[in-house]
Amino acid sequence: MAKATLYFPRDFKWGCATAAHQVEGGNDKNDWWAWEQGEGHIKGDQKSDRASDWWGDGFEKDMDFAAQMHNNAHRLSIEWSRIEPQEGQWDTAAIDRYRVMLKSMRERGIEPMITLHHFTSPQWLIERGGWETPEVIPRFERFVTKAVESLKDLCDLWITINEPNVYAVGGWVSGVDQTSEAVAQNAMPPGKNDLGLALTVMDHLMLGHAAAYHAIHRLQDNARVGLAHHMRLFEPYRSNSWLDRWVAGNRDRVFNQTILDAMLRGRLRFIKRNRSLRNTADFIGLNYYTREFTRFDRHNLPGMILGNGLVKPGIEMSDGNYGEIYAQGLFRFLKRLERTGKPIYITENGLPDADDDQRPRYLITHLRAIWQAINQNVPVMGYYHWSLVDNFEWAEGWNLRFGLVELNPQTQARQLRRSGELYGEVCQTGTLNEELVYKYTPELIDTLFPG
Give whichever of 141 and 163 is closer to ligand BGC, judged by the CB atom: 163
In the bound complex, what is the minimum distance in angstroms from residue 271's beta carbon to ligand BGC? 28
Contact 437, 365 (CB under 8 A): no
Give whichever of 245 and 401 is closer to ligand BGC, judged by the CB atom: 401
Concatenated DSSP letters of 200-266: HHHHHHHHHHHHHHHHHHHH-TT-EEEEEEEEEEEEESSTT-HHHHHHHHHHIIIIIIHHHHHHHH-
Identify the bridge partners of residue 407 per DSSP, sorted by sequence position.
Answer: 414
Give whichever of 297 and 324 is closer to ligand BGC, judged by the CB atom: 324
In order of 151, 156, 181, 196, 251, the CA distances from 220 in angstroms are 11, 8, 49, 36, 37
**Counting beta carbons within 10 angstroms of the beta carbon of residue 184, is it exposed (0 to 12), middle (13 to 18) or buried (19 or more)?**
middle
Give whichever of 174 and 287 is closer to ligand BGC, judged by the CB atom: 287
In the bound complex, what is the minimum distance in angstroms from residue 341's beta carbon to ligand BGC? 25
In the bound complex, what is the minimum distance in angstroms from residue 289's beta carbon to ligand BGC? 6
Give the binding site for ligand BGC (CB under 6 A): 19, 162-163, 166, 230, 287, 348, 386, 393, 402
Q: Which residue is nearest to ligand BGC (CB)?
A: 19
**Counting beta carbons within 10 angstroms of the beta carbon of residue 38, is it exposed (0 to 12), middle (13 to 18) or buried (19 or more)?**
exposed
Give whichever of 19 and 207 is closer to ligand BGC, judged by the CB atom: 19
The amino acid present at 74, given as its one-letter code, is H
In the bound complex, what is the minimum distance in angstroms from residue 396's beta carbon to ligand BGC? 8
In the bound complex, what is the minimum distance in angstroms from residue 321's beta carbon to ligand BGC? 13
The amino acid present at 193, given as its one-letter code, is N
Give whichever of 230 and 342 is closer to ligand BGC, judged by the CB atom: 230
List the beta strands (DSSP E) in 37-143: 73-77, 111-117
3-state class of 400 per DSSP? coil
